[in-house]
């Protein structure tokens, strides 16, 4: 459940950032995706998507 909550939060902040360009939403999305990418026991496909999302948000 924790992974699902982090994923929903990350996606929510990502959508908010994309629609408003809010820097706080961008930072929060980065933090959530980073936390997911570093989470133990997470599916490798989700982990790779989180790394990609962070790369896109960081540029």
Per-residue pLDDT tens digits for 25-38? 999 999 999 998 88
* Residue 44 and residue 52 in contact, taking contact as beta carbons nearer than 8 Å: no
Half-sphere exposure in the Cβ direction for 15 (13 Å, CA) = 6
Spans of the chain below 70 pLDDT: 1
Q: What is the pTM of this model?
A: 0.83
Q: Give pLDDT, residue 30.
A: 93
Q: Give pLDDT, residue 6.
A: 87
Q: Give pLDDT, residue 39.
A: 87
């Amino acid at each position: 459940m924790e992974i699902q909550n982090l994923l929903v939060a990350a996606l929510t902040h990502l959508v908010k950032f994309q629609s408003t360009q809010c820097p706080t939403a961008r930072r929060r999305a980065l933090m959530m995706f980073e936390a997911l990418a570093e989470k133990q026991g997470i599916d490798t496909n989700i982990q790779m998507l989180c790394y990609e999302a962070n790369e896109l948000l960081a540029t």
